Amino acid sequence: MQHVRRSAFQSAMSHSDTLCEDGLLPRGMTAWVLSDGKIGDEAQCFGIAEALGLSPERRLIAPRAPWRWLAPHSRISRRDAPDRAQSPIAPPFPDILFAAGRQTVPYLRRVREDSRGKTFTVFVKDPYTGPATADVIWVPAHDSLCGANVIVTTTPANRVGRALDELRRASPDPRIAALPHPRIALILGGNSVNHRFAPRDCARLIEIACELVRDGRGVMISPSRRSPPALLAQLIALFAEEPRVFVWDGRGDNPYAQMLAHADQIIVTGDSVNMVGEAVATGAPVHVYEPSGGHRKITAYVDRLTELGAVRRWNGRLDSWRYAPIDATPIIAREVAARYLQAGRAAKIASKF
């Protein structure tokens, strides 16, 4: 079960006039996703926004030095000020702004200031500037940030969970439909601040793929932008003529969500909180292969999902078990909606005095 601190959505949901498509917010609301280009951060922000029935505009920032080095504690540069023609935060300001990543913090603060608090701000993950940074902050349970406006769940928001049922009802991608059952999704991350795909990790992942094929399983391999190019090249070459394996080589539509939807079991590398979180949203058994390196927070995250029965660390064999899918996205969305509506009611009350 997802854990949420200070739930507020039950009382707020009693006011549901003229709501968005998903019934959580008023219709016609505008939204931005403020991003420095990190795909993982964007996935979480868009996941929450879409669960609220919003279609946010992506606002990309690219601060120069020294502002890039000083974030999140600096202000934005003059050239990025809202009154400049090419500013990434040029008005009109949105009703709700979603942001993630320390580089976005100064821009979020500036929108709050210039909108005089009319733009409701949602920050994803710890901003490192305290809970007062935004109207609402989401952090994972393995973080330590606390506050009355802080939402905490075990897994992050994602864009996959909402699509799984529809993808399962539809005909799968022909590249996936051709594979035999059981189908195993091998989801590969790559080098990061805390993890590295050492030669022994790459060799072991190739060995795992070969073992799955020898056992007669269909194998779907999805690399990420961080995956070592040499590893991907080896996998493509090795399975070029193997009908039981599909390796996405970056060409054509990305079938990542379809792989998750149609996987009987999943093996995912443990370098990405997002990838593990998306995997457990499926309800399929998830095996976590931990590459070299590591971080205590990610270890705690995998430990917690293990306690919940969703994942098992890779021990050299595929196991089967059952658990209820874990997807925090709708929980986070309801909390954000509740706090937005509460803030609106508080503002109306204050305006009377």
pLDDT at 79 over 50: yes
pLDDT at 40 over 50: yes
* Secondary structure letter of residue 94 according to DSSP: P
pLDDT digit string, tens, across residues 203-244: 999 999 999 999 999 999 999 999 999 999 999 999 999 999
Tell me the pLDDT of the chain averaged across its residues: 91
pLDDT digit string, tens, across residues 247-283: 999 888 899 999 999 999 999 999 999 999 999 999 9
| Calpha distance 72→100 (Å, rounded) | 11
Residue 7: how many other CB atoms lie within 10 Å: 12
- Class of the 9-157+328-351 domain? alpha beta
pLDDT digit string, tens, across residues 192-213: 999 999 999 999 999 999 999 9
Q: What is residue 266's three-state secondary structure?
A: strand
**Which letter, b or e, does each residue of 134-147 get, where b requires 16 or more Cβ atoms within 10 Å of its Cβ?**
bbbbbbbbbbebeb
Q: Domain map of the chain by residue range?
A: 9-157+328-351, 161-313
CB 284 within 8 A of CB 311: no
CATH assignment of 161-313? 3.40.50.2000
Measured torsion, CA atoms of residues 163, 165, 166, 172, in degrees rounded to the nearest 10: 100
Q: What is the CA radius of gyration of the chain?
A: 21
Report the 3 state secondary structure along 148-203: CCEEEECCCCCCCHHHHHHHHHCCCCHHHHCCCCCEEEEECCCCCCCEECCHHHHH
How confident is residue 18, by pLDDT bands cut at 50, 70 and 90? very low
**pLDDT score at 144:** 86
User: Strands across the sheet with 183-187, in order?
Assistant: 245-247, 218-222, 183-187, 265-269, 286-289, 311-313
**pLDDT score at 84:** 93
**Fold equal for 9-157+328-351 and 161-313:** yes
Query: First vs last Cα of the chain: how many Å apart?
Result: 43
**pLDDT score at 24:** 86
**pLDDT score at 17:** 36
pLDDT at 305 over 90: yes
